Structure 1
Amino acid sequence: MKPLMRIFIPTFTIILLSACSPNSDAENATNDNKLPAVEVESDATQDPTAHESNQTNPEMTQAEVIEAIKTDLKTNLTKLLPSELPLQNEKYLTATTTSDESHYEVVFYESNEPTAINHETSADGQIIARLHAQKYESKQEADEQIAFENFSELGGQPIDLGYGITGYQDAGAGSMWTSWNEGRWAIATHTRTTDGEKGEELAKEATEFLETHTLPIPKPNGFAHIDVYQSNNRIAWQNENVVYMLDEVKDPMIALEIVTSIE
Structure 2
Amino acid sequence: MNAKFMVIPVVFSALVLASCGGSYSSDSSGGSNSYGSSNNNYGKTTDDMRKNDMSGSTKTPTLTQKDVLATVQSKLNSDVVVRLPKAIPLSSDKHYLSAKTSDSSDAYQVIFYETKAPISVNSSDLKDTSKATQIATVSGKMYATEEAAANATGHMNDVNTGINGVDLGSGITGYSDAGAGSTFLNWAEGRWSMSVRNTTSADPQDSIDLAKKVVAVLEKETLPAPHQVGGMQLEVAPNKAKGNIISWQDGKTDYMVSDFNDPLDGVHIATSFTE
**Shorter chain as normaliser: what TM range?**
0.7 to 0.9
Q: What's 1:41 paired with?
A: none
1:153 CA displacement: 5.8
Cα deviation, residue 150, structure 1? 2.9
Give the structure-2-normalised TM-score: 0.73
Gaps of 5+ in 1: 2-52
Aligned partners of 2:248 and 2:49: how far apart in 1?
30
AA in 2 matched with 1:89: D
> Is the 2:160–2:188 Cα contact (8 Å) retained in structure 1?
no
Structure with higher helix content: 1
Q: CA RMSD in A?
A: 1.7
Alignment pair present for 1:224 and 2:224: no
Deviation at 1:172, TM superposition (A): 2.8
Task: Show CA shifts across 1:32-59 (max 9, x none).
Answer: xxxxxxxxxxxxxxxxxxxxx7345332
Q: Identity over aligned residues, as a percent?
A: 33
Larger Rg: 1
Partner of 1:80: 83
Structure 2: 5+ residue stretches without partners: 3-46, 51-59
Contact persistence 1:55–1:65 (CA under 8 A): no
Task: Give CA-to-partner distance per residue, 1:177-230, whole Å, 9 cap, x none.
Answer: 111000000001111233111001111111111001100111100000111113
Q: Which residue of 1 aligns with 2:115?
A: 111
Mapping of residues 27-176 of structure 1, within 5 Å:
54-55=48-49, 57-87=60-90, 88-124=92-128, 125-152=132-159, 154-176=161-183
For residues 101 and 72 of structure 1, the distance between their equivalents in structure 2, rounded to whole angstroms, comes to 14
User: Which letter maps to 1:66?
Assistant: L
Q: Does the 8 Å contact 1:146/1:236 carry over to 2?
A: yes
Specify the code of the residue in structure 1 equivalent to 2:248. W
Residues 153/249 of structure 1: CA separation in 2 closer, same or farther (3 Å cut): closer
Structure 1: how far apart are the matches of 2:111 and 2:88? Answer: 12
- AA paired with 2:48? N
SS in 2 for 1:260: helix
Letter in 1 for 2:253: V
Q: Which stretch has the larger CA shift, 243-252 or 168-177?
A: 168-177
Structure 1 contact 109–123 (Cα < 8 Å) conserved: no
Report the AA paired with residue 156 of structure 2.
Answer: E
Change (3 A) 1:91 1:139: same
Alpha-carbon distance in 2 for matches of 1:252, 1:172: 22
Could you tell me which amino acid in structure 2 is paired with residue 75 of structure 1? S
